[in-house]
Amino acid sequence: MKLVAEFKECPDCKVDARLMNPIIQEEIAKGNMSKNVLSCASADITFVIDPSHPPISGGRVPGARVLRDICTKCGRTYTVRIESGYVTLPARAGLPVTFA
């Protein structure tokens, strides 16, 4: 996984007032999470499939993960981190894809 971009503040308010930060910090203080956890309100994984060479189940394809959070000052949802890497497709239907 490679970090593409990281944004520390809301593009509208110019402050770091993310919804998940205080929740994560509280869980870290309780010992329920490690200090290396990535906090976000939502995450999307996108990937590229070449139609002329469709991947098999369990195959790896290039992709990206976009992490978003919500500003508690103005309510805007914005991107906080973009990563590129590979997506491993599930071996069986109904299982989630994995990103690395």
Q: What is the pLDDT of residues 18-48, one digit of tens each?
A: 999 899 989 999 999 988 888 888 999 999 8
Per the structure, the complete domain to which residue 83 belongs is given by 2-99
pLDDT at 80: 95
Enter the pTM of the model.
0.82
Task: Name the phi and psi angles at 11, rounded to 5.
Answer: -65, -20
Work out the pLDDT band at 54, boundaries 50, 70, 90: confident
**The total number of structural domains that make up the chain:** 1
Work out the pLDDT band at 91, boundaries 50, 70, 90: confident
